[in-house]
Amino acid sequence: MSATTRYAAMSRRAAMTAAALTAMVALAGCNSGAGAPAEGDMAMGAPEGAKVTVVEYASVTCHVCAAWQEENWEAFKAAYVDTNKVRYVFREIPTPPREIAVAGFLVARCAGEDKYFDIVHELLASQQELVADPRSTLFRVGNGAGLSNEQIQQCITDEAGQLAAEERAEASLSAGVQGTPTFFVNNVKVITPGSQSGTSMADLSKAIDAELAKG
């Protein structure tokens, strides 16, 4: 059995709901839930209830997400996350190859909250490798976070974990997210008109700084 076939088999339930999730995108509008705390949120920086909350919806198999991380993450993290100026929340919305994205997120969660972002960022940085050879890449990245191959296998075949991943994806779509990466600053979507590479760092910083400046 090939690696691609194996991972497709691991997420049959996720694949079966793909059409329904796509339909939800067409029906969903922007609502007030995007910035509110959600089940399964992973966060860095300031604590919950911070003056400014930045929510990113992204996928480890989204090439624009990978490019955004490479070009902007370190500057964003240094300016706003490490300084505790904002609460940064990452929300998973798997993109094709969807089964690989789900597997990557499951491994990140199995590694624990303290290593979650390390794995997500490493998978984004290794995205071409991940898509070409998911099994080897997930084992390599998971091993680096202290997981054994057996633990990784258990993570990505766990039915409860797969169901929770589906529920998080549905919640993201119901918040009006129609592409990745998508950023919200205090519940307001930040868009760079005409951009083919997601929200620009300049527009994101402008929105954050405006919120920080409020009395």
CA angle in degrees (0–180, nearest 5) for 164-168-174: 140
Distance in angstroms (rounded) separating the CA atoms of residues 158 and 192: 38
Phi, psi angles (nearest 5°) of residue 45:
85, -135
Kindly give the confidence (pLDDT) of every residue in the chain, 215 residues in length, as a single tens digit, with 9 standing for 90 and above.
443 444 444 444 444 433 333 332 222 333 335 657 778 899 999 999 999 999 999 999 999 999 999 999 999 999 999 999 999 999 999 999 999 999 999 999 999 999 999 999 999 999 999 999 999 999 999 999 999 999 999 999 999 999 999 999 999 888 888 899 999 999 999 999 988 888 999 999 999 999 999 97
| pLDDT, position 33 | 54
Counting every residue written for the chain, the total comes to 215
Identify each DSSP E strand in 105-202 by its residue range.
182-185, 188-190
What's the distance, Cα to Cα, between the start and end of the chain in Å? Answer: 60
Instruction: Taking the CA atoms of 180, 181, 185 and 191 in sequence, report the sign of the dihedral they define.
Output: negative
Residue type, 129: E
Check: CB of residue 150 under 8 Å from CB of residue 83. no
